[in-house]
Amino acid sequence: MFDLPKVEPFFDEYQLHAIGCRCGHVTRGKLPVGVPAGCFGPGIVAVVALLIGVFRLSKRMVPDLMADLFGLRMSVGAVIGCQLLASEALAATVEEAKAHVVEQPVKHADETGWHEGPQRSRAWLWTVVTKSVVVFMVHARRNTEAAQALLVRSAGVLITDRHGAYGWWPDRMRQFCWAHIRRDVQAIIERGGVSAAVGKTLLDEIGRMFHWWHRLRDGTLSRRSFQVYMRSLRARFESALKLGAACDHPKTSKTCANLLKHADALWTFVRVSGVEPTNNPAEQAVRHPVLIRKVSYGTHSDAGSRFVERILTVHATLRRQQRDIVGFLRDACVAKLQARQAPSLLPTPPLSVPLAA
């Protein structure tokens, strides 16, 4: 039987004595290094940041929870102060994570709607997912500029949908998501006529592709055999695309012509080991932020957006690595207070990152 003990906060009192001189000068004691100037220590800051940024509690609900669980009284202003301190403590750590994902050989990218500013203007939450590290970014645009701000340069293989913001990435090093393509093909079928015939041919080939891919992934089919099977499948699939591009339905023609234009981006997963044919990791990564957006309606300010980026990056990465998030947040806050090196999100960090000034 598991149970929880009663948890009560402890406190330390620091008395800073002052001695006055006849000349009017007053000498006051100083706090020891690492002692916060505010009322709340790193452990409380870590918990508050987690409640706001991960578990979707509003800033007005956090004081109620802290009082109910720990008998600790906090104001909404104190909650905001904890949020700002946690955000600053994570800044250098997240910058290191951003630099890390740029260099990875395989990465997934996706974006979802967001709201930012007092007027809740339209914005976008972007993410890049690698084997061990996940990074988030809030940006006002859903365009090439935003994609380049996050991905920096075309290094490694990038798995995405067919959104044009990623068009600067070379097709031979890009992988279109086949789950999205299958939905596009289903739309072609529903148009009827010649489109339906073309779409059914394409859908049959997609079914065969996933069947062989699952066998390759499960270890019941060798990569060499998989590549042989996919060679003939590619020829049949692209022949059907040519028929679709020549049909009289404008939407079907446009979709098929676009896929032919970027044909290399359809088959990278066949050529490069470790590349998946779908963008599921990135789509799964944005599901939790979508729930946060629905509850909070986005962020009020630039500082709020930076906090969201950092706490989501830390949470998603540590979950992916099965590491303790509360302890990590507390260590980051302690490092900030003591002007020490911040902890690293990298799976086997050779060195910690220097604390940002």
Mean pLDDT across the stretch 243-252? 94
pLDDT of residue 45: 94
Q: What is the pLDDT of residues 189-207, one digit of tens each?
A: 999 999 999 999 999 999 9
- Contact at 8 Å (CB) between 260 and 242? yes
The pLDDT of residue 351: 46
Report how far residue 210's alpha carbon sits from residue 226's, in angstroms, rounded to the nearest whole number.
11
Q: Which residue type does 300 have?
A: H
Please name the residues in contact with 198: beta carbons below 8 A apart, sequence gap of 6 or more.
188, 240, 243, 244, 247, 252, 256
Residues 29 and 19 sit within 8 Å (Cβ to Cβ): no
How many CA atoms are closer than 13 Å to the CA of 229, on its beta-carbon side?
A: 16
Say if 212 falls within a structural domain.
Answer: yes
DSSP labels, 259-291: HHHTGGGGSHHHHSTT--SS-HHHHHHTHHHHH
- What phi and psi values does residue 35 have, to the nearest 5 degrees? -85, 125
**In Å, how far are 58, 209, 214, 348 from 325, measured between CA atoms?**
20, 39, 33, 16
What percentage of the chain has pLDDT greater than the value 90? 80
- The torsion angle over the Cα atoms of residues 301, 303, 306 and 307, rounded to 10 degrees, is -100
Query: Is 165 among the domain residues?
Result: no
pLDDT by residue (tens digit) across 171-189? Answer: 999 999 999 999 999 999 9
Confidence bin at 349 (pLDDT 50/70/90):
low
Angle at the Cα of 135 (from 217 to 356), degrees rounded to 5?
145
Q: pLDDT tens, 251-270? A: 999 999 999 999 999 999 99
pTM of the predicted structure, to 2 decimals: 0.89
> In this predicted structure, what is the pLDDT of residue 22?
82
* pLDDT computed for residue 35 by the predictor: 77
Distance CA 73, CA 145 (A): 45
Structural domain tally of the chain? Answer: 1
**Do 9 and 72 contact (CB within 8 A), yes or no?**
yes
User: What value does the mean pLDDT take over residues 64-86?
Assistant: 93
Q: Quick one: pLDDT at residue 350?
A: 47
**Residue at 66: amino acid letter:** M
Q: Is residue 247 part of a domain?
A: yes
pLDDT of residue 356: 44
Res 49 pLDDT > 60 = yes
The alpha-helical segments, DSSP class H, found in the chain are 42-53, 61-70, 76-102, 144-151, 178-189, 193-218, 223-246, 250-261, 268-271, 280-285, 287-296, 302-321, 325-337
Over residues 43-66, the mean pLDDT reads: 93
Instruction: Indicate whether 107 belongs to any domain.
Output: no
**Residue 222 to residues 234, 249, 256, 270: CA-CA distances in angstroms?**
18, 40, 30, 12
- Domain encompassing residue 259: 178-278
Query: Whole-number mean pLDDT of the chain?
Result: 92
* 262 domain-assigned: yes
Q: What's the pLDDT at 33?
A: 76
CB 133 within 8 A of CB 100: yes
Residue 202: inside a domain: yes
pLDDT value for 146: 96
Tell me: the pLDDT tens digits for 318-348?
Answer: 999 999 999 999 999 999 988 889 999 998 7
Checking if the pLDDT of 55 tops 80, the result is yes
Structure tokens at 106: 């395989």
Q: What is the mean pLDDT of residues 283-288?
A: 94
Residue 88 belongs to a domain: no
pLDDT digits over 286-313, tens only?
999 999 998 888 898 999 999 999 999 9
Is the per-residue pLDDT at 352 higher than 50? no
- DSSP class of residue 357 equals -
Residue 353 has pLDDT above 80, yes or no: no
The pLDDT tens digits of the residues spanning 117-134 come to 888 899 999 999 999 999
pLDDT beyond 50 at 357: no
Answer whether residue 28 is part of any domain. no
